A and B are shown apart, each in its own frame.
Chain A
Amino acid sequence: MRIAITGIGAISAIGRNCAETLQSLLDERSGIGAMRLLGSVHTDLPVGEVPLTDAELKHIAGVADSEPMPRTSLLGIIAAREALEQAGLNEKMVNGLAFISGTTVGGMDLTEQHWQDYALGKASENIRLHEAGESTNAIARQLSTLNFIATPSTACSSALNAIMLGANLLRTGQVKAALVGGAESLSKFHLNGFNTLMILDHAPCRPFDADRLGLNLGEGAGYLFIEPEEDAIARGATILGYIGGYANTCDAYHQTASSDNGEGALLAMSGALRMAGLQPSDIDYVNAHGTATPNNDLSESAALRRLFGSNLPAISSTKAFTGHTTSASGGLEAAICVLAMQRGFIPANLNWSTTAEGLITPVTHTLHQPLKHILCNAFGFGGNESSLIISNEGIDLSEAPLIDISKYRTVEISQDIDVSAYVSPAESRRMTPQTRRIVAAARRAMAESGIATPDAIVCATQWGCMLQSMRFLQDIIDSGEQQLKPTPFMQSTHNTVASTIAILTANHGYNTTYSQGKQSLDCALADIRTQMSLGLIQTAMVIEFDEQVDAWDAVLQHIGDSTQNIARVTIYTNRKQ
């Protein structure tokens, strides 16, 4: 099957739509500047804000002023609708459409604003929107006909992982088309989080520069509308490009640092090339992850050098335009790659001036040239490495009917079990009690099944790593955003569990997390079943988890809900039992 891209949508600091985004790129006009809307005390940190208030975004998105809506969802609606319109569809024309949208922040902005209200039983209509999956549902409700909704939440690689799942669903005939990408607003939560990691530059970021001091956070959304080429041709749609190949791997090195030799990134990029049947020399342009942190750019450069040798293609990071839009970045930058291919140019890597040993030298000014194959990288916390190839010619990807998969072994660990035999004190010092139980369950499942290195580690969670999230949020409020500890933040992302297990077991395989309310497990199973059908994986570890948290229960009681401890790990295989 050839997977055609027939629509793109983008919103970020450099444009409310694709046309504005393209113009900013061609004009080399960055959207990074002083903070106007976020309301953090750290106004000395430049950001890439979408220069519109929530009320203005609601107006554009066609959402009533009175309707509670995370900013992430508002950005998502605007970009998703643009992609659908460009594909020549109104929502009602689509049957069998998947909507897969990555996010990690979800409705955290509302939770920050209303935390005091929640305690008093006020503003309760916003509470459920905290959940990453619910912020996606809020977008989907505006788009009406959707058959499959999923929210991958792997921090900064979320949107590329969404695109991969969408492509896999098409290749197994489960959906007719898919709207895929991600959305993420700025939040005080992750601005402070990145600040504790001391990786935010107080000046505009300088990807791949010798003197780079870190990233600037941005916000936005980006989506691709993808469908089989023959369907696109049959309905007379304009084909903007093709999905060439893709891969997700785990660096399995550290929760917040990339390995010196870029092992995970190399595996992701070479995996994408292998799927596409392309050689490194076929790549005309790499849209790098290029966050401008000292660690990322050095590690990504090492991986690029290992893959391309001395024949490096043109490389640039567009994050000096948009800021790092975290979970949205893969979708936004994939849309930018399609614009670059359509128009025939390589976007500039702004603010670069000096080279240093080990770093690649990026393209510093817009280069006009035709592009055939583009590689787009997005790397997330825990070494979650994703690469996507976008091509201007159809690339045949294998198809397969959906097969049945088998449960091989399930291990569930309840609260009263001592897990110290499975997790050493040194390993577990940053883990919450519930994370320790989950890790113990995973280790037991691997030992009892004899599958020490499953091809995929996939988590399903409603709320994510809620204890550390609530700790960090409370610290932000109590301290007035001062003297915060980095550990709760680096342990707060939904994919913390999947990456922790990959790091402990040196597993470089596929690694992801779905947060889709009560449907989270269904999403995880759909993912691994689809990949097993396509022969991409043979074994998978599915981890269902949630964490009982008093502070969040005190809020949830106002909507008659509560959190609970879940630590259930199941090994699946493609073999009949």
Chain B
Amino acid sequence: MEQLIEQLKSQIIEALNFEDLTPADIETDAPLFGEGLGLDSIDALELIMLMDREYGIKLADPKEGKVIFRSVRTMAEFIQANRKK
């Protein structure tokens, strides 16, 4: 799990173009949206695409992302349980 969390942090930084951040800057349990990284609706779509590309998980409804993307940990848990690759 910890390995997946670290990998996910790097993938998030790359997918969302956070050039000035390193994985250590992202807190595993901090909210991704609103506060924390302050992500928006386009970032949510990028994260949905990231899960599709890297883990073979397809979401049909962007609203599902709200719960999954609460934090890096919740995202990692969802990936762990649903990954196809």
Contact = CB atoms under 8 A, between A and B. Distances in A.
Contacts of B4: none
A425 interface: yes
A254 B45 contact: no
Contacts of A485: 15, 46, 49
A425 B38 CA distance: 13
Most buried by A among B19, B49, B53: B49
Given A198-B62, A429-B16, A429-B19, A483 B41 contact: no
Given A429-B19, A483-B52, A196 B45 contact: yes
A490 B49 contact: no
B24 interface: no
B40 A486 contact: no
- Chain A contact patch, size range: 10 to 19
A511 to B, nearest CB: 20
Contact of B46 (A254, A256, A425, A486): A486
A255 B43 CA distance: 12
A291 to B, nearest CB: 15
Contacts of B35: none
A196 B49 contact: yes
B2 interface: no
A257 B45 contact: no
B49 A256 contact: no
Q: Considering residues A254, A256, A487, which has the most beta carbons from chain B within 10 angstroms of its beta carbon?
A: A487
Contact of A256 (B16, B17, B41): B41
A256 B52 contact: no
A430 interface: yes
A197 B43 CA distance: 10
Contacts of B20: 425-426
Given A196-B49, A483-B52, A425 B42 contact: no
Given A429-B16, A429-B19, A486 B45 contact: yes
A430 B52 CA distance: 21
A487 B40 CA distance: 12
A430 B41 CA distance: 13
Contact of A198 (B16, B18, B45): B45
Interface string A180-212: 000000000000000011100000000000000
Nearest to A424: B20
B46 A257 contact: no
A485 B52 CA distance: 11
Interface in B11-53: 15-20, 38, 40-42, 45-46, 48-49, 52-53
Nearest to A199: B62
Contacts of A257: 40-41
A490 B41 CA distance: 12
Given A254-B40, A483-B53, A425 B19 contact: yes
A483 B17 contact: no
Contacts of B49: 196, 483-486
B18 A429 contact: yes
Contacts of B41: 254, 256-257
A430 B45 contact: no
B19 A487 contact: no
A430 B45 CA distance: 14
A138 B17 CA distance: 39
Interface string A481-498: 001111100100000000
Nearest to A485: B49
Interface in B32-85: 38, 40-42, 45-46, 48-49, 52-53, 62
Nearest to A431: B17
Nearest to B38: A426
A429 B16 CA distance: 7
A256 B42 contact: yes
Contacts of A197: 42, 45
Contacts of A426: 20, 38
Nearest to A483: B53
A425 B18 CA distance: 8
Contacts of B62: 198
Nearest to A213: B61
Contact of A487 (B38, B42, B48): B42
Nearest to A198: B62
Given A196-B49, A198-B48, A486-B49, A255 B19 contact: no
A385 B56 CA distance: 38
24 contacts: A197-B42, A197-B45, A198-B45, A198-B48, A198-B62, A254-B40, A254-B41, A256-B41, A257-B40, A425-B18, A426-B20, A429-B16, A429-B18, A429-B19, A430-B17, A430-B42, A483-B49, A483-B52, A485-B15, A485-B46, A485-B49, A486-B42, A486-B45, A487-B42
Given A483-B52, A486-B49, 10 more contacts: A197-B42, A198-B45, A254-B40, A254-B41, A255-B42, A430-B17, A485-B49, A486-B46, A487-B17, A487-B42
Closest 5 CB pairs of A and B: A425-B20, A429-B17, A486-B45, A198-B62, A483-B53
